[in-house]
Structure 1
Amino acid sequence: MARGSVRKHDGGWGYRIDLGPDPATGKRRQASRQGFATKREAETALRDVTSSMRDGVVPTRSVRTLGDFLDEWLELQRDRLRPTTWHSYGHAVTRIKAGLGRSKLQALAPLQLEHFYAELLASGGRTGKPLSPKTVRNTHTVLRKALADAERLGLVGRNPAAAANPPSDVRVEQSTWSSDELRTFLDSVRADRLHAAFVLLATTGMRRGEVLGLRWSDLDFDGGGLAVSNTLTTVGTGLVTGPPKTSRSRRQIFLDEGTLSVLREHRRQQNEERLSVGPAWNGSVDYVFTDELGEPVHPDAFSRSFRRRVAEVDLPVIRLHDLRHSYATLALKAGVHPKVVSERLGHATIGVTLDLYSHVTPSIARDAADVVASRILGDGDDWHHGRGV
């Protein structure tokens, strides 16, 4: 029976366990690990190791570093992840290796990881600038996934990231435009060749990549809608096209007659451009939104164009993605059912929608209270005069 003990060490907690004699040399073997924030964490880790020993699953002692493991692990994910996801994992791995890459994989402890997260928050950016809590949480998520695989493969006895606490998820209030502000902006870009793209973003809440990946074959003018079945995104400086990330993102969106009219006019103008440039037009992919030669619009260039246009009008400064938030906020305030808004946005669940736009739900609740009470009590004056009794 393995024997172990827990003790306080250098401001934290750790454990030591007797592994029994080495089968080859007969010498006594011990394993120890430090860096747990609490005694309970150390005791839990000790129980896990003891249980693994009883089951005959004890990781072979190794000097492999975290950096070496992450390099190997990331390469294995290349064919398992979407290119954009794999690229973002690569950024996280780069950050982790910069701070913890030389640490022994089997010696990592939760407290060490929490110190690392604190360093990222303080000065973890490329230029020494603080990273946002969201970025640090994403880094933690990648590290936790990687170490979960290390545990599954028997390289470590326990996933230390599972016991480490990442920074709190600080929710930043969304910046949005009112309906009047949206109308002012759309009027100001009426002459822009991508005016229809801005209208589509504003009236559907679609994502940037979904709009730029839209093909004419995805549009159904007779049925009054479109299919979100393709996206155009970036990996580094290159463009990547492919299906939406999740099944809920693949969806049908009904369009209002005003938006359909704008898209019809956009198609007419694009046909004129195609005829004017002749063979120079790239017709290999039938994108709805292109440059003057039929090439796809680069997402970053589209965002830069939006920023320039916003700077030209007297409106609050928002990001291109905030057009999506503006649509959702206006829809909910207008009384559109959250389930419908959730489906149009392509959210995984209605809960995601309600959580993201929790600042809108109090007004919805107040409206619901007024509507239901008016049905029950009738007009307020009638009630106060005793006619509702």
Structure 2
Amino acid sequence: MKANTAADTGRRVPPSRRTIAEFFAEWLTAVRHSLKPSTYANYADVVRIIGKRRLQDIDVPTLDELYRHLLREGRCKPDTNVARYDYWRTRRLAAIELPPREIARQSGTSIHAARAAVQRYRRGRVPTATTPGLAPKTVKNVHRMLHRALSDAVAWGYLAANPATHASLPRERRRSARQRGKTWTAERLVEGCDAGPRRRDVGCKTASGRRTIALDPLTASYLRRHLAMLADERREFGAMYRHHGKLFCHPDGRPIHPDTITRRFDRLVDRTGVPLIRPHDVRHTFATLSFDAGVEPKVVADRIGHANMAYTLTIYTHRSTGHDQPAADKAASRGLPGGVTGPGCKARWLPIGLHHACERPPERSLRRPFPW
């Protein structure tokens, strides 16, 4: 079949015993300047599984089996967090108080990590079990990297055709509201404001993340105070100040580790008593509250940093919590006898949404029970 492919394309590829690992070492050296850092993780997955196979032996069935293997058991790092929680919970139910040192020894982590884990468990932050396989999106990222690498192998004369062109990709489950991040309501957000301002890192993943946005007066006043504090710290440290160009950093200018930001955010959430969400879910909260406030979708997408407004509407907004009342009233005024102000009517929540239920039907046509 490979001979027929070479004949069809008019190219003759000389036989070679070059392995996948040898080819990728050569390929990464050639294209290192145009790759993202995350590509190296995908490269490691491929080399770990099929690195010893010859490059010219790779075909479509081989790639299909590789993707299935990654979906089933492609995760390398063991899930020690769930095992550590199960061990702690079992002893706690038996009224056995474990010191952090014992938990660290049992789970193979440091005593500081064990102590922080116990604090999370007591606050209700329970870890969720992860599957041994990779997510379909991650497998697709591996495929994209393989497709590009094997295309270069064809261009370099190592292969007659790219087998990744006809490989079968895993199907991604469509994102639903249950899979999206959680959000705070406006009321919950106001309750959490008593914690006051704290240092935060707003690093950007890509160059497009650096953009100019407008700030409300309260946020601008806190930012001015923060800039004044940075100027004082820079003067106090003098030549020892490590200037990394970060707006939010340690007093001596050192960048803040992302895990430090997450832990501090979690402590503030626990202190205020608002629902548990991730730092990234604040973006979902902002988008949802902006739409509830009547902000144009294009403006919300620009502030979040999305080039595609449809993506913002699909992923970064959540169901409104009662702000669709005017829409319900307008629809009812057209479709229900007597409008929305019939005798004895009052609004109440039902599983299908917000509508008006009448204690006494205003007209004969409404005496029949509703289908739901």
Q: What's 1:280 paired with?
A: 240
Residues of 2 paired with 1:250 and 1:279: CA distance? 28
SS in 2 for 1:78: helix
Say which of 256, 263, 279 aligns to 1:304: 263
Trace 1:96-107 onto structure 2 (pairs within 5 A). 96-107=46-57
Residues of 2 paired with 1:118 and 1:376: CA distance? 54
Contact 1:332-1:360 at 8 Å conserved across structures: no
Residues of 2 paired with 1:369 and 1:58: CA distance? 67
Say which of 25, 33, 37 aligns to 1:79: 33
SS in 1 for 2:287: helix
Contact 1:290-1:297 at 8 Å conserved across structures: yes
Residues of 2 paired with 1:277 and 1:335: CA distance? 46
Residues of 2 paired with 1:355 and 1:110: CA distance? 34
SS in 1 for 2:213: strand
User: Which amino acid is the alignment partner of residue 178 of structure 1?
Assistant: T
Q: 1:191 to 1:345 in 2, by over 3 A?
A: closer
Q: What's 2:219 paired with?
A: 259
Residues of 1 paired with 2:229 and 2:240: CA distance? 17
- Output the TM-score relative to the length of structure 2: 0.65
For residues 350-384 of structure 1, give each alpha carbon's deviation from its aligned partner in whole angstroms, at most 9, with x where no partner exists: 232233237559999x789669979999x9579xx
Q: Percent identity?
A: 34
Residues of 2 paired with 1:150 and 1:80: CA distance? 16
Greater percentage in strand = 1
Say which of 174, 177, 190 aligns to 1:183: 190
Q: Aligned pair 1:116/2:39, yes or no? A: no
Q: What's 1:43 paired with?
A: none
User: How many correspondences in the alignment?
Assistant: 285
Say which of 249, 259, 272 aligns to 1:290: 249
User: Which amino acid is the alignment partner of residue 63 of structure 1?
Assistant: R
Q: Aligned pair 1:321/2:319, yes or no? A: no
What 5-or-longer segments of structure 2 have no aligned partner? 79-131, 342-372
Q: 1:257 to 1:98 in 2, by over 3 A?
A: same
Q: What's 2:207 paired with?
A: 245
Q: What's 1:155 paired with?
A: 158
User: Which amino acid is the alignment partner of residue 131 of structure 1?
Assistant: L
Q: What's 2:181 paired with?
A: 174
Q: 1:371 to 1:109 in 2, by over 3 A?
A: farther
Q: 1:338 to 1:94 in 2, by over 3 A?
A: same
Residues of 1 paired with 2:217 and 2:333: CA distance? 33
Q: What's 1:269 paired with?
A: 229
For residues 248-306 of structure 1, give each alpha carbon's deviation from its aligned partner in whole angstroms, at most 9, with x where no partner exists: x4432111112111111222333343344444333x44532121112232334323332
User: Which amino acid is the alignment partner of residue 291 of structure 1?
Assistant: H
User: Which amino acid is the alignment partner of residue 140 of structure 1?
Assistant: H
